[in-house]
Amino acid sequence: MRRLLVLGLFATILLIGCRGRQSEAPPIHPHLSMDFQEKFGAQDYNPFFEDGAAMRKPPTGTVARGYLRQNSELHEGRLSNGEYVEQIPIAVNRQVLERGQDQYNVYCAPCHGKSGNGNGVIMRGDYGYTPASSYHVERLRQVTDGYMYDVIKNGVRNMPPYAQQIPVRDRWAIVAYIRALQRSQNARPENLPESVVTRLEEETGATLRSAGDTTTATVASGTE
């Protein structure tokens, strides 16, 4: 009987202990270790330094980890003599092109249009923007990849720069995708796989290749 009573009492104490009462007081901290130390907050005054600021400036020329940008071809799109690189300095594969397409559609298509003809959704409204360029003009087909990269990074005339929004490799991926867009509007029969040429010839009734010589063939729709 007595044992039952003790047990009951014990259970009651336990239950009361479990009520989950909330408290603002810090938990009991039997071993302080180094948990509580004096320290300076970001904007605190510190008499140790002449300017009294606790927060110190990093020495001039300090570069944050991962931000050393010595490769001017990659980061600036320029050779060491300052000229634009002719070609994209990263390996271009399907994955890069798809990334380029994705980022192009986010950042460039609103003005330049999904097919790059300068007819993006912003340009179709009456918002008073300077018209965005079409990529399908001879001059922009001829510019170097480095120049395209520079336009994305630094902007051009009325187009704002996108360096803040688009990281380096994505800029190159976008350049690769613009090249694909340009090719899409200006393809020659010899750029197409044999099966596609055959299909197009069947569908349109046009002759895309003259006997034995594909280089002189012209596309019937007049894009060449």
The residues binding ligand HEC (CB under 6 A) are 107-108, 110-112, 122, 130, 132-133, 140, 148, 151-152, 156-159, 162, 166, 174, 178
Q: Please count the CA atoms within 13 angstroms of the CA of 164 that sit on its side-chain side.
A: 3
Which residue reads 């050779």 in tokens? Answer: 79
The distance of closest approach from Cβ of residue 25 to ligand HEC in the complex, given in angstroms and rounded to an integer, is 55
Give the bridge partners for 45, in sequence order: 53
| Residue number with CB closer to ligand HEC (92 or 174) | 174
Give the shortest CB-94-to-ligand HEC separation in angstroms: 20
Q: Which is nearer to ligand HEC, 78 or 209 (CB)?
A: 78
CA angle 50, 51, 53 (to 5 degrees): 115
Q: At what angle do helices 168-185 and 94-107 cross, to 10 degrees?
A: 90
Q: Whole-number minimum distance, CB 82 to ligand HEC, in Å?
A: 18
Report the candidate in 55, 33, 29 with the shortest Cα–Cα distance to residue 44. Answer: 55
Q: How far is the CB of 74 from ligand HEC (least distance, A)?
A: 17
- If the CB atoms of residues 3 and 157 are measured against ligand HEC, the closer one turns out to be 157
Nearer to ligand HEC, 170 or 189 (CB): 170
* Minimum gap (Å) between residue 79 Cβ and ligand HEC: 19
**Of 74 and 109, which has the nearer Cβ to ligand HEC?**
109
Least distance (Å) between residue 143 CB and ligand HEC? 7
Give the integer Cα–Cα distance in Å for 107 and 174: 10
Residue nearer to ligand HEC on the CB measure, 63 or 156: 156
